[in-house]
Structure 1
Amino acid sequence: MNKTFEQLKVAKSILKSLDEIGFNEPTPIQQKAIPRISSGVNLVGVAQTGTGKTAAYLMPLLTRLQKPKGNDPRVVILVPTRELAIQVGEDIAELTTYSDLRHAAVFGGIGWTKHAELVEPGIDILVATPGRLWDLYQAGVLRLKKVKHLVIDEADRMLDMGFMPQLRQLQEIIPPRRQNLLFSATFSEAIEKLAEEFIDYYEKLEVAPSATPVNLVTQKAYKVPNYRTKLNLIKYLLDDEEKFTRVVIFVKTKEHAEGVFKVIQRKAEGEKRILHSNKAQNSRINSIQAFKKGEVRILITTDVSARGMDVSQVSHVINFDLPRDYDDYVHRIGRTARAGNKGDAITLIDPSDEWHWKKIQKLIRKDIKLLSLPTEVEVVETEFAENQDQLREIDRQRKIDDPTYQGAFHQKKRKGSAKRSFNDKFSRTKERQKRKKRRRL
């Protein structure tokens, strides 16, 4: 039987906030995680994005803090990106509307002195990226001796982004006697090692099998021969404004992001924005906020730029490019079907993607049929350079499957080629000497 938030013993001030937000029923991970976190155990939670895992750890921690106390943070939440730091900070603000608890979110990309001003008056709960937390600690404006609860959120992305050295640094300065909470969308071998290094003993909570996408996401894939045909398919899909109301398009590089943006800027209705590493931080944050408010219909982004984006009404996720890190597929499609809503994930597969697509299906334990292109979509002939790139990638895949495979691009050595090369060179030299002798005569 499902429990209510009241039965889960969430603080009255939070219940009032939840009622105002419109959250009436706990999600499965909240049902399971809140009692365990409230009991004080160390917990490793495996949950996909969109399952309510942020609120699952925030509600019991905020309930335990009860009221402001001292100047130093008692809860530290580590996140991999500035976007996620902002998002978690906003979630805390919503849940503490009727509470006096003090909180702040700090991250890189802007001067640390601005964040020092947020922290210095006193703080109960701090959300931070590892680098910025270390900056403030080194500057002496942040003391961590009172930390009783440490949360590492999106731990799999932390490892992907190379934050392990910073996590080890922080492990040395945060009091060892604390509650540890680690959350990840997947439970890989690397995550298991991280948990063992940071936590002496922990309970594992897995709401769905690791790497299983949210059930409310409808997944489909189209077989597309090349980049330009992908653009034609995107244009065709986005013509349906009633169905494709709020869309995230994932690409693998900032160059692809710019290319897709140029096309849909001219061809698709509605406001469009673009996110990638070359965009200024304020521009990226403003784009996400505008998308969240419904002011932007289409958001084109790379994987890193979209981390931490929590928008409950995304109708579609389109994978223009297939991610090479297969776990990212789970993260991507988790951008839709959030907070109990349904959503669609559409993936475009070119010939060099089919091998990777099979591996992704194995990871998510689901077969997704490759659909043919709609007849209305113009199929463009693959350009020579793109065709060569696809063939090289297919060659590489075959060599992985069969190390003895020589490949279409393998240059075979012909017997006697070195000898012929020497003879040819000798003959040319001899001919030049003859010509010089004739000119002297």
Structure 2
Amino acid sequence: MAGTFDDFGFNRQVLNAIADAGYSEPTPIQQKAIPPVLNGQDVMGIAQTGTGKTAAYVLPLIMKLKYAQGEHARALIIAPTRELAMQIQENIALYAKHTDLRTVVLYGGLGPKTQIENINKGVDIIVATPGRFMDIYLAGHIVTKPLQVLVLDEADKMLDMGFMPQLNRILEVVPRKRQNLLFSATMSEKVHQLSANFLEFPIVVEVTPQATPAQTVKQSLYYVPNIKSKINLLKYLLDAEEQGIKKLIVFCITRASAENVYKFLVRRYDDKQVKVLHANKGQNTRINSINAFKADDIKILVATDVVARGIDVSNVSHVINFEVPVVIEDYVHRIGRTGRAFQLGEAITFCNPAEEYRIHKIEKLIRNPIPVYPIPEGVFIEETPYEERQEQAKEIDLQKRKENPDFKGAFHEKKASNTKSAAKGNKAGAPPKNNKYRKSGKPALKKHR
């Protein structure tokens, strides 16, 4: 196994770029994946996020292509989101800086005219989201015959986002004789099915068990009964000096929730320190927000899972899951935004009663319990409003129905009695009596299930 980048047999242009990037030694996924990629074999790479997967395929790709040649692309990299596609292009520019290789990135959200013009100037590597690639191909602006290498990055996310039909169409229009590379942090059953059609006798490179968070990330879990209490806890953590929050991503499930958290933070920090990122934001706004965060111009980025995967921002000290992700694999990708490149990071998750089900699923996925901590004494626990309690009850019923189709549902049975109780002015809106939703003076680490 290679101890240094010199051991791979890279040429001087690639080695100089690696040195310029400040890399001293290859990560485990790079050590295992680069030799078979250089050897022309199909590779399925599975590794934690933040461990250098992009360089594991881009470095040998640059070595294989060497220099600009012809007018049409010889390598195609497919990614699920425009942000990840743009970041892969940035990495290629970094690693290929001493070569004349030409890269074009294709993604939706803006007109294709400039992208088509860039292709027509001549290209060696295309980085694209699936939909935009097919649109430009079907319009007759991409010639696929010279393609030698096809890369699918974050393949499981592409399948979660419903890209399977487009991926199959891409596989139909690229040459049969080609090298295939597939990389991801998680590998679902659907991806294994895709890989059967996509890869030929692949080398499977797995440096850690699937869906394992990086060891450099400290995880913690707080049971918080409602949204207002979550906001209070967020405020407390941001104010607490011992937390040492220098650069933070706050993850929410929905655009509405992200906007609400953003509005709260802007009132405290102003919009020079906080930005919000979700699918409703315009392309330029999204690019500017990520660039400002990367450049340390802002301290806090509030986001939906559009940025959970693949976005490499250095020195993110903390990730806060304001809400537990619905797609449980996204937990690994979210917390992988911190603790990157061997640095330490912290991932904090807030969980209400309706989210407990997903926490159990996540713990099963990562094969470990998430350490639970009591809500600090300085955090005010708000009463849960009636409507929010009803929503939580509905969600819990839905989860139980998924597990047991015969479950009739407690929500409707309780509805009438809850209405009566609320009318009487009882304490039904108070936090759950369950101890984990109450403040405690002692740390409460969870027992292994």
TM-score by length of 1: 0.90
The aligned residue for residue 174 of structure 1 is 174
User: 2: CA distance between counterparts of 1:169 and 1:239?
Assistant: 51
Offset, 1:305: 4.2
CA distance 1:349–1:153, change in 2 (3 Å): same
Partners of 1:83 and 1:307 within 8 A in 2: no
Which of the pair has more CA radius of gyration? 1
**Could you tell me how far apart the structure 1 residues matched to 2:121 and 2:269 are?**
48
Contact 2:109–2:283 (Cα < 8 Å) also in 1: yes
SS at match of 1:180: strand
Q: In the aligned structure 2, how far is the partner of 1:73 from the partner of 1:155?
A: 21
Q: Does 1:263 align with 2:264?
A: yes
The match for 2:337 is 335
How big is the shift at 1:29?
A: 0.3
Distance 1:378 1:251 in 2: 21
Cα shift at 1:185: 1.4
2:10 matched residue in structure 1: 10
Structure 2 unpaired stretches of 5+? 415-449
Residue 381 of structure 1: which of 380, 383, 386 is its match? Answer: 383
Range with bigger deviation, 95-104 or 266-275 = 266-275
Q: Which amino acid aligns with 1:342?
A: L
Match of 2:433 in 1: none
2: distance between equivalents of 1:171 and 1:397?
A: 37
Residues 220-270 of structure 1 show CA distances to partners (whole Å, capped at 9, x for unaligned) of 000101000000011111114671111000001011011101111112476
Q: 2:285 aligns with which of 277, 283, 299?
A: 283
d(CA) in 2 for partners of 1:343 and 1:287? Answer: 21
The percent identity for this pair of structures is 48
Q: Report the counterpart of residue 98 of structure 1 in structure 2.
A: 98
2:221 is paired with a residue whose SS is strand
Aligned to 1:308: 310
Q: CA deviation at 1:370?
A: 2.2
CA contact (8 A) 1:155 1:191 kept: yes
CA deviation after TM superposition for structure 1 residue 397, in Å:
2.8
Contact 2:225 2:384 in 1 (8 A): yes
Q: Which amino acid aligns with 2:89?
A: G
Instruction: Output one character per residue of 1:319-376: Cα deviation in whole Å (capped at 9) or x when no partner.
Output: 0000111101011011111111110000001111112111110100111232210000
In the alignment, does 2:92 pair up with 1:89? no
Amino acid at match of 1:285: I
* Pairwise CA distance, 1:178: 0.3
Could you say what secondary structure the match of 2:80 adopts?
coil
Give the match for residue 415 of structure 1.
Answer: none
1:395 positional shift: 2.5
1:184-333 aligned at under 5 Å gives the runs: 184-240=184-240, 243-268=244-269, 271-333=273-335
CA change 1:9–1:2 in 2 (3 A) is closer
Q: 2:116 maps to which residue?
A: 116
Q: What amino acid maps onto 1:243 in structure 2?
A: G
Match of residue 64 from structure 1: 64
Aligned partners of 1:150 and 1:70: how far apart in 2?
A: 18
Matched residue SS, 1:285: helix
Paired residues for 1:157-168 under 5 Å: 157-168=157-168
**What is the correspondence of 1:358-369 to structure 2 with a 5 Å cutoff?**
358-369=360-371
List alignment gaps of at least 5 residues for structure 1.
413-441
For 1:347-358, list aligned pairs within 5 A: 347-358=349-360
- What SS does the aligned partner of 1:167 have? helix
Q: CA deviation at 1:408?
A: 2.2
- Counterpart residue number, 2:441: none
Q: Distance in 2 between matches of 1:410 and 1:403?
A: 16
Query: Which stretches of structure 1, 4 residues or longer, exceed 6 Å deviation after superposition?
Result: none
Contact 2:219 2:371 in 1 (8 A): no
Residue type of the alignment partner of 2:48: Q
Q: Which residue of 1 aligns with 2:446?
A: none
Distance (Å, rounded) in 2 between the aligned partners of 1:143 and 1:240: 56
Q: 1:173 to 1:267 in 2, by over 3 A?
A: same
State how far apart, in whole Å, the 2-side matches of 1:37 and 1:401 are: 42
RMSD: 1.6
The offset of 1:389, in angstroms, is: 1.1
CA contact 2:106–2:115 (8 Å) conserved in 1: yes
The residue aligned with 1:421 is none
Q: Which amino acid aligns with 1:347?
A: T
Aligned residues, how many?
412
CA contact (8 A) 2:220 2:373 kept: yes
Q: 1:29-68 residue pairs with structure 2 within 5 A?
A: 29-68=29-68
Q: Distance in 2 between the 1:282 and 1:121 partners? A: 24
The answer as to whether partners of 2:52 and 2:341 remain within 8 angstroms in 1 is: yes
Using the TM superposition, give the Cα deviation of residue 195 of structure 1 relative to its aligned residue in structure 2, in angstroms.
Answer: 0.2
Structure 1 distance, partners of 2:94, 2:5, is: 16
Asked if the contact 2:308/2:330 (under 8 Å) is kept, the reply is no
2: CA distance, partners of 1:283 / 1:72: 31
* Shift of residue 403, structure 1, vs aligned partner: 4.5
